[in-house]
Amino acid sequence: MLFLGIFVLPTLCLFLFFYPTITISLSSWGAAILRATTKTVVNIESVRFIPGLGEASFISIEGTTPTFTHSLVNAIISVFFILLSTQINRNNRPLMIYLSMGLFVHLVSSLFFLVIPDLFPYTIQDYSRLYILQQIGTWMTITVISGLATNLVLPTGGYKYAAFIVTVLFSFIFGCVRYVIYLYLLYRFTVLYMAALYFIFGVLYDFLGMIAIYAIFVRGASYRMSSNAGKGEWQW
């Protein structure tokens, strides 16, 4: 309970009550990089998030919609790779199924832009806004899940705290760098890729990182526990 009270809860509160400051800093930093890189107009806007707790800031950047040819090429390539993925690399079925799902999402996106491009409901600004809102939620959820899982399984001592701190830091840094990169990719290669970035390369990787860090620390804890005295072998 001490761990939850001293570490997890304050971290949660940090994200909850300081998200305006965090997002403005992140947006400022990201905007500076994008201005230098894209030579286009990059602004910072804000949106209401949690009532009473302030506004979240996000980067506003101009984007482009894909041309017909671009959408068609992407659709054809998606179909090709979906078919190919069913044939190759039988040793990595899960990865192939996962990538096939990604390709499927991308195919749907390509077909959408082929058929009804004007009805695509989002701009890059929309994506940017929703990304920030989701990322705040991700940081909070990672804090809670990591805190619970770490507290549950890891024994007392440095492992628990280290695992939690590294996980939160990982999620924070990853969320920030991904924000800038994804906005750049959407600016550079059009909003056609928005669905794939959201569904396939989105929040899943935050959790992958959390689980990976968790696994490392549990492994360390396991080594430590097995080195203790009293490893007697009783038959019953």
Residues that bind another protein (CB under 8 A): 33, 36-37, 90-95, 97-98, 101, 105, 108-109, 112, 120-122, 126, 130-131, 133-134, 137-138, 140-142, 145, 148-149, 152-153, 170, 173-174, 177-178, 180-181, 184, 195, 198-199, 201-205, 207-209, 211-212, 214-216, 218-219, 221-223, 225-226, 235-236
Find the shortest distance in angstroms from Cβ 76 to another protein. Answer: 20
Q: For another protein, give the closer residue by CB, 7 or 210.
A: 210
Find the shortest distance in angstroms from Cβ 69 to another protein. Answer: 21
Map residue 113 onto helix, strand or coil.
Answer: helix
Q: What is each CA distance from 145 to 123, 142, 206, 214, in whole angstroms? A: 32, 5, 12, 11
| Count of other CB atoms within 10 angstroms of residue 13 | 12
**Cβ–Cβ under 8 Å, residues 197 and 186:** yes
Q: Which phi and psi angles does 112 have, rounded to 5°?
A: -60, -45
CA 92 to chain centre: 23
Q: For another protein, give the closer residue by CB, 7 or 214.
A: 214
Find the shortest distance in angstroms from Cβ 67 to another protein. Answer: 19
| Count of other CB atoms within 10 angstroms of residue 180 | 19
Find the shortest distance in angstroms from Cβ 233 to another protein. Answer: 8
Task: Write down the H helix ranges in 39-123.
Answer: 68-87, 93-115
Q: For another protein, give the closer residue by CB, 44 or 122.
A: 122
Find the shortest distance in angstroms from Cβ 102 to another protein. Answer: 10
Q: For another protein, give the closer residue by CB, 81 or 184.
A: 184
| Count of other CB atoms within 10 angstroms of residue 50 | 14
Q: For another protein, give the closer residue by CB, 24 or 166.
A: 166
Map residue 132 onto helix, strand or coil.
Answer: helix
